[in-house]
Structure 1
């Protein structure tokens, strides 16, 4: 199976973490890629604050701890002291690239402002490894935790999540929503409202004169599943009917045949007049689909108005893509600020139970209410670019068909 760019980035980060400092040329050899590819990867990761880059070498940022593997508590204590004796905060993330790179950056910035040290571990979207990774963070001196489990499938939370509610230190669930009534629902959490993001996209396309857009989406992460649920909800809210079943998307570099099938399904919907607009999760899939559709004679935005979901690289497409932008950096920042507040209250002797949640029993007044769990939801925005145009009238379509022939 061909390695994705995100997987290669995580391997690169692991190599730098192990060595502390490495030459870009050596990394290219270790990764089995060309020097040009290695330099491009390093520039992308350095631009996101995940690496420091100087004169052909890269190093692990001193303000961020190890993303995986063992870390010595003595080193954690020394760096914590150097940072002003602030708390040590552990962050479990499913990846250090793409979507979560900005979440991590926001957490890193907030931790630095609070004089805290942030240590990072990556689960590679293996929820069965989340608990061991978290125990490693605790062993490295973490006094509080930001937890973004590596859930992928709908049943992963129930199978791999209850232990999070039993953590011995304050914890904040990061960019994840717990099932109502579950043990995790009593935790602090900060997340994006993807239902709102999808509603923004559908409403924008309808406002341009299109019918309900066709959804093209993955199903391999909590964000992907939330986008799918948000799509069904948006159609209900706006009184619309889906133009067809959701088109299942997969990464082109991992499953080229499945990706091609998704592109063909979208092309068929355009050619038949079933859909004139689409919402595609995620950015990378959207960019590659626009390129492939052009080869098949479907033009964006002339034949198809398209909105991407995530806004990681949407602006860099040949035709800059309109995109829903979850507030990733703000999620990381606010989650860290909430955790620092919990840690400060705990250090001051305020009542509360582990997991960052106040005691549910006894007490009166506003002080007791301040200990209540907080569910902070941030709204995505819509960044309008060149990939969305108004729906064509019948005369517009007739003129194009007369000039170029019917779409097939």
Structure 2
């Protein structure tokens, strides 16, 4: 039975009110009528004040009905160092998880000075709205980390450390933390180079963060644990890679260290420094993978190198998500909800063209 004009116009009115605005051509298609018929129906409804007609469209006179917005379940303060690109993906992972739970995120970048986080935490917690903290202190030196240990551990309310592993004996081991297992990542890199036959390795790394210090210590242990590794060395990956560049002794270029020690395997931390070092080595006559194999540590832009760099890839967004989930659990069950947890997330090795067995 053919639909009556009155019924058809009622359907048009319902469609327009539901969507706010509908093109006449779309109405014709969905109603299985000609564009002329749909346009005439729209004109009739507009003439009696049921909708507004525009150029080729029909617009509703009432606001579009929307699903009710779930009220906010509190505010979480996210405190991270300013201009710290490594943590961008961690922050993104945490933000997505918190906003999905209708928790508002307020970002507080900490200036590049020692102890910058403490006044921020005190100011944030003095507000009535903040219900929990996610924090990644900069900790350029081990002394910075030690200075923050007790006051941060004693902070009231739910708190989760982001991408920071509390050290043995630290008071912060009593608080929740989610971090990348950088010892595992360093071991992945050393094992990969050793499996390719490299017996002399160099780590070109930063020395101005907990991640850098963990990589340096883990690299030494991984080399010592493998009898096939005959020699290894650690150098700075960039002029500004030290915690205190002004008081850091000058080092020879990486190419000189590699030639002096006969090194054919290199681990570089982080990505941008790795791409720059590969370019500098090429200018010195050393090409990967012809003369050496390289593994970068970070894997944000390693694949864009020439050649694309094999890399250890921390699951940074997952670290942020897991930290947010842990904090949400604390917020839902209260700050005394069970013992503190330390969650170590394993990185992956992404094998590309910069490593070769021809050594």
TM range (shorter): 0.7 to 0.9
Indicate how the Cα distance of structure 1 residues 256 and 304 shifts in structure 2: closer, same or farther if over 3 A, else same: farther
Per-residue deviation at 1:142? Answer: 1.6
1-structure distance, mates of 2:232, 2:80: 35
User: Structure 1 residue 137 and structure 2 residue 124: aligned?
Assistant: yes
Q: Structure 1 residues 223, 332: closer, same or farther in 2, change over 3 A? A: same
Higher strand share: 2
Residue 116 of structure 2: SS of its match in structure 1? helix
Cα RMSD after superposing both structures? 2.6
Change (3 A) 1:171 1:387: same
Q: Give the match for residue 103 of structure 1.
A: 90
Count of residues in Structure 1 that have an aligned counterpart in Structure 2: 289
- Partner of 1:289 in structure 2? 277
Cα distance change on mapping 1:206 and 1:258 into 2, 3 Å: farther
Residue aligning to 1:120 = 107
| Structure 2 residue 333 is matched with structure 1 residue 345 | yes
Number of the residue aligned with 1:4: none
Q: Secondary structure at the match of 1:122?
A: strand
Residues 80 and 108 of structure 2 are in contact (CA less than 8 Å); yes or no, is this contact kept in structure 1? yes
User: In the TM superposition, what is the alpha-carbon distance from 1:112 to its structure 2 partner?
Assistant: 1.5
Cα deviations across residues 273-301 of structure 1 (Å, max 9, x unaligned)? 62111001111111001111111111111
Please name the residue that 1:185 is paired with. 173
Q: TM-score, normalised by structure 1?
A: 0.66
Distance (whole Å) between structure 2 residues aligned to residue 173 and residue 152 of structure 1:
16
* Local SS of the residue matching 1:155: helix
Residue 205 of structure 2 corresponds to residue 205 of structure 1: no
TM-score (norm 2): 0.74
Distance 1:111 1:123 in 2: 21
Alignment pair present for 1:375 and 2:335: no
Q: Which residue of 2 aligns with 1:53?
A: none
> Is the Cα–Cα contact under 8 Å of residues 83 and 116 in structure 1 kept in the other structure?
no
Which of 91, 109, 112 does residue 78 from structure 2 map onto? 91
Q: Report the secondary structure of 2:105's partner residue.
A: strand
Q: How does 1:233-244 map to 2 (within 5 A)?
A: 233-241=221-229, 243-244=231-232
1:323 aligns with 2:290: no
Distance in 2 (CA, whole Å) between partners of 1:192 and 1:320 is: 23
CA deviation profile, 1:46-98 (whole Å, cap 9, x unmatched) = xxxxxxxxxxxxxxxxxxxxxxxxxxxxxxxxxxx966221211111113542
Deviation string for 1:197-249 (max 9, x for gaps)?
A: 01101111111111142111111111100100110121133235462431123
Asked whether the equivalents of residues 125 and 151 of structure 1 are also in contact (C-alpha less than 8 Å), the reply is no
Deviation at 1:269, TM superposition (A): 3.9
What are the superposed Cα offsets for residues 294-345 of structure 1, whole Å, 9 maximum, x if unpaired? 1111111111111111112211223211111111110000000000000000
Given that 1:247 and 1:265 are in contact with CA atoms closer than 8 Å, whether structure 2 keeps it comes out as no
The answer for unaligned runs of 5 or more in structure 1 is 1-80, 353-357, 359-370, 393-408
Counterpart of 2:355 in structure 1 is: 388
The 2-side partners of 1:233 and 1:247 are apart by: 16
Larger Rg: 2
Equivalence for 1:230: 218
Distance 2:245 2:179 in 1: 32
* CA–CA distance in structure 1, aligned partners of residues 151 and 241 of structure 2: 35
> Which residues of structure 2 form unaligned runs of 5+?
1-67
Which 4+ runs in 1 deviate beyond 4 A? 251-259
* C-alpha contact 2:198 2:229 (8 A) present in aligned 1: no
